[in-house]
Structure 1
Amino acid sequence: PIGSGHFAKVYLARHLTSGLPCAAKVVDKTRLSSSETKNLLNEIAIMRMLNHPHIVALWNVFEDEAHLVLCEELCSGGELFDRIVSKKKYSERLTQEVCKLMVQTMAYYHSRSVVHLDLKPENLLLVDADSDLNIKITDWGLAQVIADGERLHRQCGTPGYTAPEVLAGEKANPAGYGTQADIWSMGIITYILLCGYPPYNLLPNASFAEEFRAVTAAPPVFEAEDWGPISREARDFVLRMIVIDPERRWTAAKLLTHPWLVATDVRDDHLMRAAKKFKRYNAARKLRSAVRSIIVINRLRRQFSSSEPANVRASNRDARHVHVR
C-alpha cells in the first residue's frame, strides 16, 4: 500500500476505463461503526456531486460484503506545503496564485451548498511533480451539504484551522454555522503562506474551548519584521477572512473580487525570512500530525482488543486531532 489508516489501505492502481493511474482506497467495512459507515457514504455522495479541476475526483466505487473500494484520482506530487518548502524561490506572487485557485474552488463548491470543514495543509495535494499549481482539495470526510435554511452544529476539524463558530459548539453558538467556516480556514492557511507561521500560538492538545478562547481573545498580529515585505493588499485579504463574526467574513465569491487576488503586478521577490520560518513550521506541523495519528490509532487498537463494544471510537477530542479512516 502507498498509505494506510485504521480502517483503510490505499493502493496504487490503474483505472480500467481511462487507463490512468489511480489511488484505490480499500475500506474494511467490518471495522466501521454504523455512524462511520454513514459518514463514509456521505463523503462518497459529496465527491460524486462535485466536478472541478481542483477537487480530487472519485472515479468509481466498488463494494462486496466486507469492503468498499474507492477509485480516486492519484495525487503523486505530495502536499502543497512540502512543495513550497522544496522550492528555491518563495514569493508573495506564488501565494497569490495558490490562493486564487483555492478561492475559486471554494466558490464552486459553496455555490452547491457544500462546506468542507477540514481545510488544512495535509488536504492540499499536488497531482504531480511538474506543476506547483495543479492543486487538489482532498479528504471530504467531514464535509456536509447544507439544505436551505439549515445550520450545522457539530464540533469538528483540525486544531489551528477551525473557525470559532465551529469551535463554540451548539450550547455557546445555538445559531450554528455554514459555509463561512471554510473561509476562516483559508485565512489561516494564507497567513501561514505569507509569513511562515500561524497567527495563533495554540497548545499542542488544546480542546475546542481552549482554542476558541485563544482565537477570540485578540485579532491576528502582523509583526513588522515579518510582514514588512508583504503588500498591504495581501494583509487586507487575510483580514477579510480571519474575522470572528462569520457574517462579516467575505464570501468566496466576494474574495474573488479582492484587489490583491485580481492584481497582475504582485511582487515576486524571494521572501527569505518567511521561507526559513515556513520550513521550520512545516517540519513541526508534520511531526505533530504524525504523533496525533499514532496516539489515536493506538487508542483505537486498545479499544478493539478490550471488552468494550466494537463500535467504540476515540473521544471527540481525539477524533478532531486526526480524521482517520
Structure 2
Amino acid sequence: MSRVAVLLLLIAVGVVLTFLGFFIGSGDYSVADAWRALFDEGDPTTLEVIRNNRVPRTLLAVLVGIALGAAGAIMQGLTRNPLADPGILGVNSGAYFAMVVAAVAFGTTTTGGYMAAAMVGALLAATLVYFVGSRGISGASPEKLVLTGVAAGSIFSGVGFGLTMIDPKSFDTIRSWQVGTLDGRNWDQVSIVWIPIVIGAVASMLLIPYLNGLALGDDRARALGIGVRRIRLAGFVIVTVLCGAATAALGPITFVGLMVPHVARILFGPDNRWLLPMCVVVGPIVMVGSDLIARVATSSELPVGMVTAFIGAPVLIALVRRKGVVDE
C-alpha cells in the first residue's frame, strides 16, 4: 500500500473516531438523540450533554493528540533519541508542577493562567533535563536522558502533589488535572488552547528540513549550513508551547509523544517530510481512541491518562529492550 493510501486511511480512521466521540459516552442517549443534538434539536438535557460535553471533549482530545504527537516527534528529532517523550523526559510533569505553584502561590484558577504557568514549567523542565542528561563523556545519550527525565518528573510530580496536600483549596481546584482527564472539559478549554496548539503545529512543520539534517549528526548538520543551537532552541520553544497548552487542558499525559512517532515511523519511515506531518494525524487517533476506551471500559469513566499509560508502558519496555538497554 502506498504512503498516500495509508495517509488517506488514517485520516478516515481519525474522522470516524471523532464522530464516534460525539455519540459514545455515559448516559442513556441513542445515536439518533446525539445526532439531533448536533443540530440544536432535542431536549435541553441532551443538548447540554452532547453539544457542551462530548463535542468539546472530543475536539480537545484531537487538539492534545496533535500537540503531543508533534512534540514527541520534535524531541526525538532534536535529541536523536528514540525514547524521547514529553512525559518520560519530565516536560509534562514540569508543566504540571508550575500549574500547582501558580494555584498555590498566586491563586490561579483559569485555563489561561494555567497555560502560561505550564509553558514556563515545561521550558524549565526541558532545559534542566537536557542540561543534566548531557553531562559526562557520553553526552546526551538516550538512556541518560530517560533516566534524568524520569527522576526529574518524579520530583516535579511529588513536590506538586505535596503542595496541593498542604493547601486544600488548591487541591480542590487542580485535582482534575492531576491524572490527565477529559472528564468535565468544555468549550472554555477548547477556545483557549486551540490557538497555541495550531500555531505550534504549524511552526513545527518549518523544522522539517532541519530535523533531517540533525539526523546526520551535529557536525554534518553544521556542514550543511544548519545552525544547530538555533534550531534546537526553536524546537524546544515549540515543544514548550505544545506541551504547555496540552498540560493546561488535560493535565500530564504520558507516552503519547513516545508512541505516535514510532507508529508513524513504522508506517512512513524516518524521513521527517512524512514523519512529522503524520504524527499530527496519528496523535489524534491515539488520544481519541484512548478517550473512547476510557469512556466504555468501566461503568465509571477512567482518566484518559490512565489508558495512555496502560498502553504506552509496554511500548516503552519493548523499545528499551530492543535497544539492548536491558540485558537479555
Q: TM-score, normalised by structure 1?
A: 0.29
**Bigger RCO of structures 1 and 2 (CA < 8 A, at least 6 apart):** 2
Q: TM-score, normalised by structure 2?
A: 0.29
* Greater per-residue strand proportion: 1
